[in-house]
């Protein structure tokens, strides 16, 4: 006998998706990025958290660490971690992308009710007012601010009004596809890519600060052996 699906199931809308994005130079990617990404993805029950390496202005690129090397390291880092994916779209453009433009492109690919979460470290969040069209970011996404152990406590004046109007205390209470700000506490790991580059340039080990696969890539390609 043929069974018919209930009518409600046949016409039901697909479930709303929850997508996170963590942009960064990832020069190189390290456990601070990765633990934050994974913890946020799990706590907020995201369907996917995309690590998105930024294109850098040409004058900052050193010959030994190309955009392709940074991308390859991020790909190695997330291999076997289903919640974390890599989005290389900003590297495939021939100029540095503005975050607002990337968000507009991503929005166009999502359903209207899908939730988009932009993750930014506290340091990056404090610099938000200098971003291109920064006052439009919340039209496209929610902003999740990652607390970094070395962060200043006070936000800059330019962000006070925005925080007063848009922040919610519980990141799990963010509603709708976009428009709010929440702070997320994750395991504090005071690791930075700067520190890792310095250690390597001084011939020191960065074992346990980056995933083993990233360490293997750095060693195989002789990256970061000289100060930049």
- Residue 113 or 185: the one with the smaller Cβ distance to ligand ATP is 185
∠ CA(48), CA(51), CA(52), 5° rounding?
A: 125
- Residue 24 or 171: the one with the smaller Cβ distance to ligand ATP is 24
Q: Smallest distance, Å, CB 145 to ligand ATP? A: 9
Stated as kind and residue range, the H or E segment containing 142 is strand 142-146
Q: Smallest distance, Å, CB 35 to ligand ATP? A: 8
Q: What are phi and psi of 44, to 5 degrees?
A: -90, 5
Chain residues binding ligand ATP by CB under 6 A are 22, 24-27, 32-33, 36, 120-121, 123-124, 146, 148, 189, 191-194
Alpha-carbon distances of 88 from 119, 128, 164, rounded to whole Å: 16, 22, 34
Q: Smallest distance, Å, CB 161 to ligand ATP? A: 22
- Residue 27 or 69: the one with the smaller Cβ distance to ligand ATP is 27
Q: Is the bond preceding residue 206 a cis peptide, omega within 30 degrees?
A: no
Pairing state between β 115-121 and 84-86: unpaired
DSSP class per residue in 82-93 = TTEEE--TTTSS
Residue nearest to ligand ATP (CB): 121
Supply 190's token pair: 């005071």
- Residue 142 or 148: the one with the smaller Cβ distance to ligand ATP is 148
Give the integer Cα–Cα distance in Å for 111 and 210: 35
- Residue 26 or 224: the one with the smaller Cβ distance to ligand ATP is 26
DSSP class per residue in 63-118 = TTB-HHHHHHHHHHHHTT-TTEEE--TTTSSSSPPPHHHHHHHHHHHS-TT-EEEE
Q: Smallest distance, Å, CB 17 to ligand ATP? A: 22
Q: Smallest distance, Å, CB 210 to ligand ATP? A: 11
Contact 137, 99 (CB under 8 A): yes
- Residue 15 or 156: the one with the smaller Cβ distance to ligand ATP is 156
């Amino acid at each position: 006998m043929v069974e018919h699906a209930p009518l409600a199931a046949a016409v039901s809308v697909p479930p709303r998706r929850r997508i996170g994005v963590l942009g960064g130079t990832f020069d190189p990617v390290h456990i601070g990025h990765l633990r934050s990404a994974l913890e946020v993805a799990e706590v907020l029950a995201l369907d996917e958290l995309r690590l998105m390496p930024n294109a850098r202005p040409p004058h900052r690129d050193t010959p030994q660490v190309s955009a392709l090397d940074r991308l390859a390291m991020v790909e190695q880092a997330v291999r076997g971690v289903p919640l974390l994916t890599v989005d290389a779209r900003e590297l495939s453009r021939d100029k540095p992308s503005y975050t607002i433009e990337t968000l507009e492109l991503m929005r166009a690919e999502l359903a209207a009710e899908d939730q988009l979460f932009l993750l930014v470290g506290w340091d990056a969040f404090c610099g938000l007012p200098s971003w291109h069209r920064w006052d439009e970011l919340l039209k496209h996404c929610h902003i999740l601010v990652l607390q970094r152990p070395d962060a200043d406590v006070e936000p800059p004046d330019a962000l006070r009004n925005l925080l007063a109007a848009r922040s919610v205390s519980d990141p799990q209470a963010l509603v709708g596809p976009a428009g709010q700000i929440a702070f997320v506490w994750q395991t504090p790991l005071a690791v930075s890519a700067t520190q890792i580059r310095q250690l390597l340039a001084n011939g020191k080990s960065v074992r346990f600060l980056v995933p083993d696969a990233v360490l293997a890539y750095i060693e195989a390609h002789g990256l970061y052996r000289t100060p930049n």
